[in-house]
Amino acid sequence: MSQQPKPINLALQGGGAHGAFTWGVLDRILEDGRLRIAGISGTSAGAMNAVALADGFTRDGPEGGRAALDRFWRSMAGGAKNSPMKRTPFDVLTGNWGLENNPLYHVIDALSRVVSPYQLNPMNINPLRDLVKKSIDFDRVRQCTAFKLYISATNVESGNIKIFPREEITLDMLMASACLPQLYKAVEIDGVPYWDGGYMGNPSLFPFHGETGTNDILVIQINPIERKGAPIKAQDIQNRMNEISFNSSLLKELRGIDFVDRLIRQGKLSADEYRQVRVHIVENQAELIPLGASSKMNVEWEFLSKLRDLGRETVTYWLDENFAAIGEHSSVDLRQIFQGIGAQHQG
């Protein structure tokens, strides 16, 4: 008799084009069938993946979700086919996926530090918004009842996280979740300006608590928590600052989970009143860290499909190694992550 799929919550980080790694993870999970998605929390590119999946899932279940993700990322690559923001012939020849040798990349990077998007882009032209509008049916997203869905944005005025639940999600809310303030004007929703959710929740875990019927959370991590050595180049310093900033809220939530878990284990908190959250992490930092920050803007199909395949391969190995832990215990030792050792398996 075949085993029933195990329910799990998915937490999807933002990270530009590196979100194609998450696409691969989701594609393989939907194909594999051993896990049942109970809830998804996503930010920026993670939110894009989540919403595209919900759109397709409403249409045709897991296979519909896979097809919708494929269409979304293919449209991303197609939309940038004629863009000057691409690798140089030398980079193509040497297998470098970054854009740091493209002069336009440096021009935009320099301008974003001294000129605001309100000056540089007064018409607020955003090709990504047009692409998303064509690719995703938000009516279907709001009708998706197969799992809970939450996307995060940052309230510019209060500095607090804003969670948009599935039944309310609109195009504006999705674009707010991915709004980098150096490049685009804040997205206003009901008169409130919002920026990228990564500043305060990349992604947010708290919406899952008591809402999805499972206490297992699988974080699909694409932003490195640890990076050895002090960066020296100006762009590397800025990149590391962004990584630390965009990981800080996730680390705080994981610390809270670990703290409550230890108190329950020590008998200082009642297991009847407090939940032991089981945390799992899928990541492949050995492959993602060397790619560099500029590759997050590279949406060439060859690169996106490479990341997709990497995500599929990584989660296939992870499922084989950790499936038994789901529903039983965390498969990572959070304290080792906080101590800078990295994600380690728990027995």
Residue 60 has pLDDT above 70, yes or no: yes
Can you read off the two tokens belonging to residue 195?
């920026």
Region of residue 184 (phi > 0: left; psi between -120 and 50: alpha; otherwise: beta): beta
- What is the pLDDT averaged over residues 23-49? 97
**Gap between the Cα atoms of 259 and 264, Å rounded:** 9
**Confidence at residue 181, expressed as pLDDT on a 0 to 100 scale:** 93
Question: What percent of the chain lies above the pLDDT cut of 70?
Answer: 97
Is residue 27 predicted with pLDDT exceeding 50?
A: yes
What pLDDT score was predicted for residue 106? 86
pLDDT digits (tens, 9 = 90+) for 244-268: 988 999 999 999 999 988 898 888 8
Residue listed under structure tokens 């269409």: 71
Cis amide prior to 181 (ω within 30 degrees)? no
pLDDT exceeds cutoff 60 at 170:
yes
3-class DSSP state of 225: coil
Inter-residue long-range contacts of 101-107, CB under 8 Å, 24+ positions, other chains counted: 105/294, 105/297
Does the pLDDT of residue 345 top 60, yes or no?
no
Distances (CA, A) of 114 to 32, 42, 107, 120, 242: 48, 30, 11, 10, 18
**SS3 call for 138:** helix
Q: Is the pLDDT of residue 305 over 60?
A: yes
Question: Per residue in 205-221, is it b (16+ CB within 10 Å) or e — as a string?
Answer: bebbeeebebbbbbbbb
Predicted confidence at residue 235, as pLDDT, reads: 80
Determine the average pLDDT of the residues in 180-200.
95
Q: Which pLDDT score is estimated for 1?
A: 41
Question: In this predicted structure, what is the pLDDT of residue 321?
Answer: 96
Three-state SS at 73: helix
Q: CB–CB of 284/11 below 8 Å?
A: no
- Confidence band, pLDDT 50/70/90 cuts, at residue 2: low
Expressed in angstroms, the distance from the first to the final Cα of the chain is: 27
Residue type, 303: F
Closest CA to 149 of 6, 50, 79, 60: 50
Question: How far is the C-alpha of 10 from the C-alpha of 181, rounded, in Å?
Answer: 26
Q: Count CA atoms closer than 13 A to 327's CA, side-chain side.
A: 11
For residue 344, name the pLDDT band (cuts at 50, 70, 90): very low
Query: Residue type at 14?
Result: G
Phi, psi of 96 (to 5 degrees): -85, 125
pLDDT one-digit tens code per residue, 100-141: 999 988 888 888 888 999 998 888 889 999 999 999 999 999
343 pLDDT higher than 50: no
pLDDT mean across residues, the chain: 92
Instruction: Indicate the burial class of 248 (C-beta count within 10 angstroms; 0-12, 13-18, 19 or more).
Output: middle
Distance separating alpha carbons of residues 229 and 331, to the nearest angstrom: 28
In the chain, DSSP finds a helix count (H) and a strand count (E) of 12, 8
C-beta separation of 109 from 331 below 8 A: no
pLDDT confidence of residue 109:
84
